[in-house]
Structure 1
Amino acid sequence: MAFHENLSRTQQILLAIFCFPLLPFYLCYLCFSRNDKEEDEDVHNTARAEEGRIQTISGQSRFTGQTADVRYDHQQEPVVTFQPDQRAQVFPKQTWQDNQGFSRNDEVDEDVHNTARAEEGRIQTISGQSRFTGQTADIRHNQRQEPVVTFRPDQRAQVFPKQTWQDNQGFEDDRGQGATSTGGQQGLYAYPWDKSSLKSIPLDLDQFKNLDAYASKVNVRNSVENLVDTLLQKAHSDLEKVRAIWVWICHHIQYDVEGYHDTSKRSCEPADVLRSGKSVCSGYAGLFEQMCSLAGIRCKKLSGFSKGASYKPGKVFKGDSDHAWNAVYLDGGWHLLDSTWGSGFVENSCTKFTFSYNEFYFLTHPALFINDHFPEEEEWQLLRWKLTLQQFERNAWYRSKFYSLGLLVSSAETSTIETENGKATVTIESRAPTLFLSDLNGAKEHCLMTLRGNGMTLEVYPQHTGTHCLNIFAKAAKEDKEKNYSSVLEYSLKCSSVDKGLSLPKALIQPVGPSWLSEEKGILEASPRSPVVHTEDGCCLVTITRSKNLDVFATLDSNSSHLSEDTRRRHIWTTCYGSQVEFKIHLPHAGQFAFHIWAKKTSEAGSHQCALSYLLSCSKKSVTWPVFPKTYGDWEEGYELVTPLAGILPANRQVEFKLKLPGVTDASVACDKIYPLTHSGEGFWKGFCNTSDASKVIVRASKRPGDNTYQYLLEYRVENH
C-alpha cells in the first residue's frame, strides 16, 4: 500500500502541490520501473495460482494463500516460482487462457487433458514424460472454465505424460529467435508434431512434379559446379534449389556397401562421390553440402547416432557417431533432411543396396526426424523440448512408413515392452482404414489382431519366457492387393510368464472379428461382434448378413485336433435364409479353434477368400460333440434341419425327424425299411424311424408328385455299426 493513502485529504493536496515540479521525473521512474518488471515477468506470460479455487469476479480472479507464478522463459519452457502467503490480489482472468490455451470441456470436471503440473524450477523432460520433485501444483479448469490449483507437499520424483503441457498450450509450429552455434536464427519446433503434415514447412509436392522429373534425368558427372549449374536452369527459389539437389542425389548416388565394410575402398570427397556414383552417408551429406553452397544455400553437415538397417530395439549407442545428414536454411529457419535414406535402403547385413526413393526424409518435421536421428549437438534436434540419448535409445522406432501410411501413434511408446500375465497389447491409431500384419520371432503365430476404422489392436501371447522380437507391418487399405506390407514398428518383447490356457491356432487368419474389411468382402453384418467367442458347453452360433450373390462356407481348425478336414467341417451346420446365414458350431473337444467364413461372388471366377475369422474357446474338458449329419449336393439353400442334429444316432431307438424342405412333394427316411414323413401345416416334414438293425439312415425327397425317383439329402450313422 502506498504511504500517501494514510494522509488526510488536505495533506494529500499540499503534498501534490509541493511535488508537482517533480512529476516528470516520477513518471519517468514509473516507466522504466514498469519496463524492467515486464522484461522479467511479462504479465501476459504469467499465471498465479492458489491452494483452492480461484474466485472469478467481473472478469478477474482473486486469490489468497500460497501462490505460484507460472511463466514461459525465452525457450518457451514453463518456469514456476512459489511465493509466501500474502493478502488477496487481483489479476486478469484471461491471463490463464493467454498462457495455457485451455480447451473447453464441460463434460468432465477434471479431465487429464485440462491439467497442468508445475514445479519450482524447470520441468525436465525424459522420454516423452516430465519428472518433477519438490513442492508441486496441480493446475486445472473446472466445468465453468475457472482455473483450480491444488498444492502438494514434497515427494519422490513423479512422472506424468509430457503431452499434458502440449494439450493445454496447443500446438504451434513456432520458430524461436534465439541465436545458436549455427549462426543466425534457428527454428525451434513444438512437440509433438503437427499431424496435418510430415514436413517442417507447408509443402505441396505437386509443385515439384516438373522439377523432379527434370532433376532426376540430369546426367552431369564431370564436376560438381557443372552439375549445380545444370540443375539451377530449372530451379529458381531457394526451396526449388534444395529440392533439385535432393532429387538428383537420391536418384543418382547409391550406397557403397563395399566401402561400408572396407574403409580403404571408399571416398567421401564430393568430387569422388560424383564420379563414382556411390558413397556412404558422410559422402552423401558432404556432396549435398557442397552443392547447396554452390547454389547459394546455407547448409550444414550433421552427424550423430541413427536407427538404421542394423538397429535392434534396446540398442545402447556408444562411441563415435554412426551417421551423417544435413540441415538447410530456408524461409527464415533450419530444416532437416537425409539424402542417404531418401535414396533407398540396404539389407540388415548391408550387402546389397536398392534404389527406392523415400520422400519422408525431405524437410522432415524435427519431432519425427528425432525418431531415428540423434545429432551430436543438442541444438540440431530443432526441438523446443530436447531429448537425451537415453530417451532416444528407449523410445520406440516409428519407421518412415508408419507416418507415410497415415498412422498416428502406438500405445507402446518404448522400444522394449513386457508381458502382463502372459499377454502384451499394442494399439495403433490411424487416420484411415489400414491393413496390418504381425509376426513374433519371424512366425505369424501367437498374435490376435482386430481392426478398427481408425487403427488396430494386437494381443500377443508368447509361448515361452525370455526376449522375443515383435514386428508390425502395414499397408493402406486402398492399395493394390499384390503390394507388399511395409515394416512400421519393431519391439523387443520380454515375457516373464506364459498363459498356458491360451494357445492360438496356427491356422488362425488375421484380422479376427467383424470389421470394415469383412464388410468390404461381403459380410455386411455379423454376430457376435467380439472376435473371441467363449463357450462352456462347446456350442455356439454365428450369424451373418451377406451381400447379394455371395457364396459362403465355413471351416474349423485347431492345433490339438487330429480330425480330418472333412470331419472338422461336419462340426458346422449351415442354414441359409436368403441374405441371412446361420452357422451352428458344435466343437468336437475342448481347446481353441479358428473359425473361418470363406466367400466368393457367384459371378466371379477364382477361389473363395477368407472374409471373416473368429477364435472359439472352450475350456470344459468333458465336451465331446459328434459331427452333424452328412449333406449331399441336393441339400439346398432354404432347407432347414430341426432334429436330429447329431450325425450319429443311437442304436435300437425310435428317432424323431423334423425338417423344412420348401418345394418338396414327398419325403421319407430310409434305414432297414422306409419311414414316410408327413407334411404339417407349419411347413415342416415330420416323422419317426427305428434304428434297430440299421447301420446308416438316409433322408430322401422328391419334387414331383408320383415320381419314384428320390434325391438323397442327409446321411446319419448309427452307433456300434
Structure 2
Amino acid sequence: MGCGASKDPAITEKEIKTKDSQENGHVVSADIDITPGKKADDIEPVPPSCSKKQYLSSKNFDEIDNHAINTPSSETSSLQNLVNHLLRPCRSDLDRVRVFFRWITHNIRYDLENFLAGNPTSISSECEDVLRSRKASCDGYSNLFLQMCKLSGIQAKKIRGYSKGYGYIPGQSFQGKDSDHAWNAVFLENTWRLIDCTWGTGHVTQDKQFKFVLEDFWFLTDPEELIYSHFPLEATDSSCSPNAWQLTKTPRSLHEFEGTVSPQPEFFTMGLSPRKLSHQNGHLKFINDIEIKITSPKSLSFSGQLNDMQSGQNNDRYCLVHREQQKDSSVDLVVFQIIPPCPGVYLLTIHGFNTTESEQSGTSMGYRLLDYVIDCSSVENLPRAMPSSVLWGLLPLGTELGLSSEIGPKVSAENGQASLEFKATKPVDVYGRLTTADDRELPENLILKQQQGENLVFNTSLPEIGNFKFTLYGAKSTNSTNKEKVYFQIADYLIQCDNHAADPVVFPDINSSVFGPDCHLISPVTGKLPNNQDVEFKVYIPGVASVAVQSFGEDNNFVHTLLDQDGSTWSKMINTGTLGERVYLSVCHETGGTEYDVAIEFTVE
C-alpha cells in the first residue's frame, strides 16, 4: 500500500472531536484518512489544520511546567518511573507531550564538548544512559522524547535530516552529506506536529559554553517556519517520502532549502515573514552596493552588523539602515544599504528590537534575527566610512512628538551647507548635534535652528569633505507631576559633503532659554561678522519690551543700540566698526527696564 492508503472505507466527517479536544475544547478540522482501528503510524503526514498559535491559544502550561521542573531525583531511577511521575497532573495528550518536553529541556544538557571535538556520536544515545548522565546529543534528546511518548501511548516519530544550527553559514551545501540532526514528530488531535527538544533546551554562547534557556519556539513549531532550518531525510517506522515530513503545503527540494535564509526564532515571534524579504536567498552576489528590504511592523526597529568574513574586521560604518515609512499602513519597509569598502565576502547580521522596549531599557542591539553572506565582486568608487547609527531617518518617537519630514535618511550638502526641514504639529523641544565619521562631535555653532510656526529648519555647516551625522534629540516628559524632561534621540541623518567652502560658515551662539522656539533669526545668520561694514540685525521675538545690540567698543566703551520695532519684528542697520570683538543681541522683558538677557552672541572679525 502507498503512504496513507487503507483497505477500509475512510471516515469523511469534516469535524472530528477527539478525547483530547473534548478535554481542551479544541475542534479539529481535517481532510485526512481516519479509519476506525487505524494506527497513527499509518496516517499520512499532512500540514496541521491550524497554526501553533491557534492551537495553543487557550492553553496555560504553568502547572505542567512547574510539575516537570520540580521533579525529585527519586522519581528518575528508571524511565518508566519518571514517565509515571510526570503524567500525574496531565489531562490530555497535549499535557503529556508538554511535560515530557519541559522535563527534557530543563534537565538534559547538550554534549557540547564532544560536538566541538568532532565526536557528536561518542556519547550513548540510549534512553537509560541519557537519563543517568543527564547529557545527550540530538539523537539522545529525540530518542528520549520518543520513548517517553511510547510509554504513555502517544504516537511519535524520530526524524533525521539536515539543520542550519551552530556554525552554519548561509548558502552552504548539504549535498551528499550524512544527516546532522534529529528531532521529533508527535501525533496530537488527529494531526502531526513537530518538536525539537535539543534546540528547545538552550544554545551555545559566543565563548562556546552551553547555556540552559527554554526556547519555547521549538515546541510544536509551525512546519512553515521549521522548514527554514530543518530538512527531513527519514522518519522512523514511516514508508512515506521524507518530504512529506516537512508537513508543508508545498515541500521544498534540498537545493531550495540550501539557498533560503535561516531566520532565528525571534524573527518569527516578532511577526516577520521570510516571504516578505526582498532577498530570500541567504548568499547574495553583487557589485558596488546592494539593498536588502524587510517589511516590518512600525513598532520594530533594526540594526545591521557587517563583518569581513576573512579578516573578521567590523564594517558597520558601511551599512546604512533606514526606514521607508508607508502611509496609511501598519507596516514599513526597513532598508539595509550595504556599500562595502572593498571587494570581498561579508557577513551581514540583522538585529531587531521593539522600539518601546528599547527606549525603556536603553539598549538598541536587540535580538539576532538572520544572517546574509554578501559577496561583493567589485567596487567602482571607494566609499567613505559613515558615522555609526542604529537606524537612519526619523524614529517613531520623533513622530510621536509631532515631527514629520519629507527628507530621506541621506542629505547632500552644497558648498559645505545642508538644511534639514521638519514639520512640528505641536510644540516640541528639540536640538541637534553634528558628528564626524569617526564619531567626533563638532562645535554647536555649526548648527543653526530656526522655527516659524510649524516649520522647523536646521541649517548645518560642514567644515570638511566627508560623511557626517546629524542627530536630533527631543524632550519627553517622564513625570506628569513635575514635568521633568529627558532628551531622547529621535533621528539620525547622514549628510554627505563632497565639496565645501574655503571658509566654512560658523553660526552665532544662541541662548535657547532666552531665544525660544517662537523666535526667529532673520539676519545675520553667520556668527562671524565682517569688520567695519553695515550689517542689518533683524529678529522676530514676540512678547518682549525691547531688543538691543550690545558690545564693548573702542576704549572699552559700552555700546547699547536699540532696534526698531515693527510688531514682533525688531531690526536696525549697524556698522560693525563701532562694535567690539564680541557682539550680543539682548532682550528686555519689562517696559522701561534696564536689565537685558543675552539671546544671541556674534564675533567681529
TM-score (normalizing by structure 2): 0.80
Determine the C-alpha separation between the residues in 2 that align with 1:297 and 1:412: 41
User: Which residue of the partner structure matches residue 104 of structure 2?
Assistant: 249
Identity %: 30
Of the candidates 622, 643, 648, which is equivalent to residue 523 of structure 2?
643
Give the letter for the 1:253 counterpart. I
User: Which residue of the partner structure matches residue 267 of structure 1?
Assistant: 124
Determine the C-alpha separation between the residues in 1 that align with 2:218 and 2:438: 48
How far 1:649 sits from its partner (Å)?
Answer: 1.6
Give the letter for the 2:230 counterpart. H
Determine the C-alpha separation between the residues in 1 that align with 2:387 and 2:148: 54
Report the CA distance shift for 1:486/1:218 in structure 2 as closer, same or farther (over 3 A): same
Q: Aligned runs of 1:697-708 on 2, under 5 Å? A: 697-708=583-594
Contact in 2 for aligned 1:600/1:609 (Cα 8 Å): yes
Q: Aligned runs of 1:93-242 on 2, under 5 Å? A: 183-189=41-47, 197-198=51-52, 202-204=55-57, 206-219=59-72, 220-242=75-97
Give the letter for the 1:440 counterpart. L
User: C-alpha deviations, 1:165-195, integer Å up to 9, x for none?
Assistant: xxxxxxx99766599x9941123239xxx9x
How far 1:691 sits from its partner (Å)?
Answer: 2.8
Of the candidates 266, 270, 291, which is equivalent to residue 405 of structure 1?
270
Gapped regions of structure 2 (runs ≥ 5): 5-27, 235-241, 308-313
Contact in 2 for aligned 1:174/1:188 (Cα 8 Å): no
Determine the C-alpha separation between the residues in 1 that align with 2:545 and 2:375: 62
Q: Aligned runs of 1:613-632 on 2, under 5 Å? A: 613-622=492-501, 624-632=503-511
Of the candidates 521, 536, 553, which is equivalent to residue 414 of structure 2?
536
User: Which residue of the partner structure matches residue 577 of structure 2?
Assistant: 692
Most deviating of 685-694 and 457-466? 685-694
Of the candidates 315, 323, 329, which is equivalent to residue 181 of structure 2?
323
Provide the secondary structure at the position in 1 that maps to 2:82: helix
User: Which residue of the partner structure matches residue 200 of structure 2?
Assistant: 342
How far 1:205 sits from its partner (Å)?
Answer: 5.6
Report the CA distance shift for 1:605/1:323 in structure 2 as closer, same or farther (over 3 A): farther
How far 1:329 sits from its partner (Å)?
Answer: 2.0
Provide the secondary structure at the position in 1 that maps to 2:157: strand
Give the letter for the 2:83 counterpart. V
User: Which residue of the partner structure matches residue 15 of structure 2?
Assistant: none
Q: Determine if the alignment matches structure 1 residue 394 to structure 2 residue 394.
A: no
Give the letter for the 1:447 counterpart. C
User: Which residue of the partner structure matches residue 681 of structure 1?
Assistant: 566
User: Which residue of the partner structure matches residue 304 of structure 2?
Assistant: 438
Q: Aligned runs of 1:340-379 on 2, under 5 Å? A: 340-347=198-205, 351-377=208-234, 378=242, 379=244
User: Which residue of the partner structure matches residue 463 of structure 2?
Assistant: 588
Of the candidates 469, 480, 494, which is equivalent to residue 375 of structure 2?
494
Contact in 1 for aligned 2:435/2:442 (Cα 8 Å): no
How far 1:252 sits from its partner (Å)?
Answer: 1.8
How far 1:289 sits from its partner (Å)?
Answer: 0.8
How far 1:604 sits from its partner (Å)?
Answer: 6.0
Provide the secondary structure at the position in 1 that maps to 2:65: helix
User: C-alpha deviations, 1:650-670, integer Å up to 9, x for none?
Assistant: 223121211223313251342
Report the CA distance shift for 1:598/1:466 in structure 2 as closer, same or farther (over 3 A): same
Q: Aligned runs of 1:506-655 on 2, under 5 Å? A: 506-507=387-388, 509-520=389-400, 522=401, 524-537=402-415, 538-545=417-424, 551-559=429-437, 565=441, 567=443, 569-576=444-451, 581-601=456-476, 608-622=487-501, 624-632=503-511, 635-637=514-516, 638-655=518-535
Give the letter for the 1:216 counterpart. I
Report the CA distance shift for 1:408/1:224 in structure 2 as closer, same or farther (over 3 A): same
User: C-alpha deviations, 1:503-543, integer Å up to 9, x for none?
Assistant: 35324x332223534224x2x12223422233435231422
User: C-alpha deviations, 1:186-241, integer Å up to 9, x for none?
Assistant: 23239xxx9x8356x72226343332332332233211101111122122322222
Determine the C-alpha separation between the residues in 1 that align with 2:88 and 2:397: 49
Report the CA distance shift for 1:499/1:600 in structure 2 as closer, same or farther (over 3 A): farther
How far 1:488 sits from its partner (Å)?
Answer: 1.0
Give the letter for the 1:542 counterpart. E
Q: Which fold has the larger relative contact order, with Cα–Cα distance below 8 Å and residues 6 or more apart in sequence?
A: 2
Determine the C-alpha separation between the residues in 1 that align with 2:112 and 2:394: 46
Give the letter for the 1:658 counterpart. K
Give the letter for the 2:331 counterpart. N
Determine the C-alpha separation between the residues in 2 that align with 1:624 and 1:462: 32
Determine the C-alpha separation between the residues in 2 that align with 1:651 and 1:250: 78
Determine the C-alpha separation between the residues in 1 that align with 2:449 and 2:527: 14
Q: Determine if the alignment matches structure 1 residue 288 to structure 2 residue 153.
A: no
Give the letter for the 1:696 counterpart. R
Provide the secondary structure at the position in 1 that maps to 2:104: helix
User: Which residue of the partner structure matches residue 659 of structure 1?
Assistant: 539
Report the CA distance shift for 1:419/1:284 in structure 2 as closer, same or farther (over 3 A): same
Q: Determine if the alignment matches structure 1 residue 380 to structure 2 residue 217.
A: no
User: C-alpha deviations, 1:32-90, integer Å up to 9, x for none?
Assistant: xxxxxxxxxxxxxxxxxxxxxxxxxxxxxxxxxxxxxxxxxx99xxxxxxxxxxxxxxx
Contact in 1 for aligned 2:476/2:486 (Cα 8 Å): no
Give the letter for the 1:433 counterpart. S
Give the letter for the 2:561 counterpart. P
Of the candidates 592, 601, 604, which is equivalent to residue 715 of structure 1?
601
User: C-alpha deviations, 1:471-530, integer Å up to 9, x for none?
Assistant: 0111334546337611111000111233647535324x332223534224x2x1222342
Report the CA distance shift for 1:339/1:432 in structure 2 as closer, same or farther (over 3 A): farther
Provide the secondary structure at the position in 2 that maps to 1:445: helix
Determine the C-alpha separation between the residues in 2 that align with 1:479 and 1:704: 47
Contact in 2 for aligned 1:470/1:490 (Cα 8 Å): yes
Instruction: Give the count of matched residue pairs.
Output: 536
Give the letter for the 1:649 counterpart. L
Most deviating of 532-541 and 249-258? 532-541
Contact in 2 for aligned 1:588/1:623 (Cα 8 Å): no
How far 1:584 sits from its partner (Å)?
Answer: 2.6
How far 1:309 sits from its partner (Å)?
Answer: 1.5
Report the CA distance shift for 1:690/1:565 in structure 2 as closer, same or farther (over 3 A): farther
How far 1:424 sits from its partner (Å)?
Answer: 1.6
Determine the C-alpha separation between the residues in 2 that align with 1:424 and 1:586: 30
Gapped regions of structure 1 (runs ≥ 5): 1-73, 76-171
Contact in 1 for aligned 2:321/2:392 (Cα 8 Å): yes
Contact in 2 for aligned 1:284/1:339 (Cα 8 Å): yes
How far 1:347 sits from its partner (Å)?
Answer: 2.8
Contact in 2 for aligned 1:423/1:459 (Cα 8 Å): yes
Determine the C-alpha separation between the residues in 2 that align with 1:272 and 1:182: 28
Provide the secondary structure at the position in 2 that maps to 1:367: helix
Of the candidates 416, 441, 446, which is equivalent to residue 283 of structure 2?
416
User: Which residue of the partner structure matches residue 86 of structure 1?
Assistant: none
Provide the secondary structure at the position in 2 that maps to 1:427: strand
User: C-alpha deviations, 1:521-575, integer Å up to 9, x for none?
Assistant: x2x1222342223343523142242756x532110122289xx7452x2121123
User: C-alpha deviations, 1:403-448, integer Å up to 9, x for none?
Assistant: 111112322101112335x222122224562122211115542222
Determine the C-alpha separation between the residues in 1 that align with 2:540 and 2:170: 61
Q: Determine if the alignment matches structure 1 residue 448 to structure 2 residue 329.
A: no
Of the candidates 350, 364, 375, which is equivalent to residue 472 of structure 1?
350
Report the CA distance shift for 1:224/1:606 in structure 2 as closer, same or farther (over 3 A): farther
Contact in 2 for aligned 1:587/1:624 (Cα 8 Å): no
How far 1:624 sits from its partner (Å)?
Answer: 5.0
Report the CA distance shift for 1:617/1:639 in structure 2 as closer, same or farther (over 3 A): same
Determine the C-alpha separation between the residues in 2 that align with 1:388 and 1:264: 27
Contact in 2 for aligned 1:395/1:414 (Cα 8 Å): yes
Determine the C-alpha separation between the residues in 2 that align with 1:707 and 1:386: 84
User: C-alpha deviations, 1:330-370, integer Å up to 9, x for none?
Assistant: 23332211011111111366x31111111211222222111
User: C-alpha deviations, 1:115-148, integer Å up to 9, x for none?
Assistant: xxxxxxxxxxxxxxxxxxxxxxxxxxxxxxxxxx
